[in-house]
Chain A
Amino acid sequence: MNPNKIQQLQLAPDIGRQLKEQALQALPEECCGILAGYLAGGRMHIRQLLRLVNVAQQERMANFAVADADLIKAARLLRQQGLELLGFYHSHPFGLPAPSRKDVASCNGWDGYSHIIVATDGGDRTQLAAFITQRPMWKRIQIQGAES
């Protein structure tokens, strides 16, 4: 998979709704988790979310961290299900649907992981944006199926 060639993130039905719901439920803290699915035709197809516990030590309203033990469990589970670990999501309570300096600095992994950021506005409005990591930046990509 060449990260340059991934242009789109295709969400399976209900994935968009789940993302928004998790972001609102977690308020005032950030939620986080894994995007799982498969690659086909230059797209990442997201079939499933695996919600993970935000284990950030402080200020979980503006910070998230994933426990390494949760990550390996999730990775093994996905392998059993025949799904790929394609990326991650997290929310920005009262924030923007754009990577923060912190995201870009510490949430990269290898080039080619996708990220969805769910921004909430304090009410029940949310905005989604998708990115693909290409050090040293995150490249914004299209997101399809978020509203269905």
Chain B
Amino acid sequence: MITIHIPTPLRRFTANHNQVQVSGSTVNQALQTLAEQHPGLQRQIFDENGQLRHFINVFINADDIRLHEGQATAVSDGDELELLPAIAGGNLQALTSAEWRSQLEDEIEQLRASAAMPWLQDHQDAQILDVRTREEWTSGHIPRAVHLDKGYLEVQIESRIPDRNTPVLVYCASGVRSLFAARTLQMLGYRRVINLAGGIVQWKNAGLPIETPDFLSSEQRARYLRHLAIPEVGENGQLTLLKSRVLLIGAGGLGCPAAIYLAAAGVGTLGLVDDDVVDRTNLQRQILHTEDAVGSSKIESIQSRVRQLNSSVNINLHPLRLDKASAADLFARYDVIVDCSDNFDTRYIINDEAAALGKPVVHGSVYRFDGQVSVFWAGKGPCYRCLYPAAPPPELAPPCAEAGVLGVLPGTIGLLQATEVLKLLLDMGRPLIGRSLCFDALNASFREIRYAADPHCACCTTVVPGRTTEVYDEAV
């Protein structure tokens, strides 16, 4: 048997015995056995990760085990083990890094990986905070975590985690940097801050899940830097845009400005639907088509201009006139449908098929000096038919060719549509659902028309019993 001498302060865990006999063939085994026999000693001797606590020196007979093979040192019958604390201090107020760290290890609540998982399940409101560098983050992180490099912690934490009552589980690679970060959070008033002992390394070793994020290349970061600076967009938002698929129906006055700005913003895939060719009368407003392009395909003309601006955008050309069958087929492959068409037949096809698939439609239309924009999204709000159950008689709504349109107006409206598209893709702000924004160029004014889903709408499924259609104007 091995004799372990118990330091005076630990005897309350050994029923006051000043020595305990254990068996084991190494120092580590002997200590483990000791902690099993006297469970109160577990936390006194070992830390959250099962490592010997940092301040403890272990001696075998009269030798420090570090003079032999550390905790792997062999022990045999008759050997004596003794645990003693490392003792240092002094009047100096300044701490060494190691001293500060050991103090924080005492003061900050720590959870090891295996205990962190159930804790997170019990604390759904908790935020996991990764304070490693961007490079480390991109190589894999804990799911649900947010990343904030420790270097930016003090200046950015309040915008990332505004509520100081949010419990925060902070981690880094090994649990050391995050310990100092945890102290910073405490100083900033975060009430419950827990350090993940052993960091993501122990998390991985425990077989817990890791998520490897998509991340922007340095080229993409440079290109979209102004987006990254907006918290509502940021890197995640830009990644979302890059993965987004937007279908534009109509490659004319509305489609041109919408397409080029969506491409510039980094929408990953643009589908272009139009079977028309560029006509000389288009050049007054259809801003992407050039004199050279007259007589050639409109969607190819847009494609070549978009490529010059942002070659990374995927462009799908759909040279067809939209009908029910092609709409159903195409819409399923896109996230948002942008209605840049110029006729009621197409608008109703777009509306009906999008409503059937539950896809949002960003609608725009222009007439002389007036334009309007709205978002139709069956299931979340009214559809186009709720507002206009049937096409107006042709004499009330003459086509653009007859009525005419101020050349710059489609630019204004097309860009309002592009703005709504980005809002929908990034789930930010208040999209124009159930609202129509009307622009009066002559008066230089916007007004908003609000409307509700029609409970008797022949198209959409947003049937709300007892609700009546209500249309009223509101000056903006």
Measured CB to CB, the residues of A under 8 A from B are: 1-3, 30, 32, 39, 56, 59, 61-66, 68-69, 71-73, 75-76, 79, 84-86, 88, 90, 92-95, 99-113, 135-136
Contacts and interface: CB of A to CB of B under 8 A. Distances in A.
A30 B90 contact: yes
Contact of B88 (A63, A79, A93, A94): A63
Interface in B71-95: 82, 84-95
B114 interface: no
Contacts of B9: 1, 3, 109-113
Given A72-B64, A101-B93, A108-B55, A65 B8 contact: no
Interface residues of B, number: 34
A110 B7 contact: yes
Contacts of B11: 1
B90 A113 contact: no
B419 interface: no
B95 A101 contact: yes
Contacts of B82: 72, 75-76
Contacts of A79: 5
Contacts of B445: none
Which of B5, B57, B59, B100 has the most chain A CB atoms closer than 10 A to its own CB? B59
Contacts of A64: 88-90
Interface stretch (B102-110, B142-150, B228-236): B102-110
Contact of A106 (B7, B10, B57, B88): B88
Given A110-B10, A136-B106, A102 B90 contact: yes
5 contacts: A64-B90, A71-B84, A100-B93, A106-B89, A111-B9
B62 A30 contact: no
Nearest to B9: A112
Given A30-B91, A100-B90, A102-B90, A69 B64 contact: yes
Contacts of A75: 5, 82, 84
Contacts of A90: 89-90
B7 A105 contact: no
Which of B85, B98, B103 has the most chain A CB atoms closer than 10 A to its own CB? B85
A36 to B, nearest CB: 10
B62 A112 contact: no
Given A64-B89, A75-B82, A92-B91, A104 B103 contact: yes
Given A109-B9, A110-B7, A110-B85, A56 B90 contact: yes
A37 B9 CA distance: 13
A95 B44 CA distance: 32
Given A68-B64, A103-B90, A86 B103 contact: no
Contact of B91 (A2, A62, A106): A62
A66 B353 CA distance: 81
Given A110-B44, A112-B9, A113-B85, A105 B103 contact: yes
Contacts of B5: 75, 79
A59 B89 CA distance: 11
Interface of B: 5, 7-12, 44, 55, 57, 59, 62, 64, 82, 84-96, 98-100, 102-103, 106-107
A85 B87 contact: no
Nearest to A68: B57
B8 A102 contact: no
Contact of A56 (B12, B88, B99, B106): B88
Contacts of A112: 8-9, 12
A105 B102 CA distance: 6
A85 B106 CA distance: 23
B85 A109 contact: yes
A62 B92 contact: yes
Given A63-B88, A64-B89, A106-B86, 7 more contacts: A39-B8, A62-B90, A64-B90, A66-B87, A68-B59, A101-B94, A109-B9
B59 A106 contact: no
The 10 closest A-B pairs by CB, nearest first: A109-B85, A112-B9, A107-B89, A105-B103, A65-B88, A63-B90, A103-B89, A62-B92, A92-B91, A95-B91
A27 B276 CA distance: 97
Nearest to A55: B88
A100 B94 CA distance: 9
Contacts of B98: 106
Contacts of A76: 62, 82
A30 B10 CA distance: 28
B62 A107 contact: no
A108 B57 contact: no
Nearest to A92: B91
Contact of A100 (B44, B85, B92, B106): B92
Nearest to A62: B92
Contacts of B89: 63-64, 90, 99-100, 102-103, 106-107
Which of B8, B55, B102 has the most chain A CB atoms closer than 10 A to its own CB? B8
